[in-house]
Amino acid sequence: MAPIKKFSAGTISCALWENEAKVDGRKLRIMKATIDRRYRDKDGTWKSTGSFGRSELPLVIFCLMQAFSGMVGEGAEGSGDSPSVEEETVR
């Protein structure tokens, strides 16, 4: 399963995921966000973590704000069409 949108700022990324839930017999689209930081370990292998340093917090906030806009904006609620995967990167 791939995210419906992904936002990046440096090594920080936030992905939007869509799930379906049934509430009172109605199908609802539930949006969730995950955020992580990519880094290389001592062997040079890429890893992910949910731990962030002080200097990375502004990038985390930026990505989460983009995710929030994606959730409440036109694309998240849409007309029921399948959204396309997009990636926005800030360096």
Per-residue pLDDT tens for 56-80? Answer: 999 999 999 999 999 988 544 443 3
Domain limits at 17?
Answer: 5-79
Is residue 91 included in any domain, yes or no?
A: no
CA-based max dimension of the chain? 51
Could you give the number of structural domains in the chain?
1
Q: Which residues pair with 7 in a beta bridge?
A: 14, 88
**27-52 confidence digits (pLDDT tens):** 998 999 999 999 999 999 999 999 99
Strand 5-9 relative to strand 46-49, pairing: unpaired
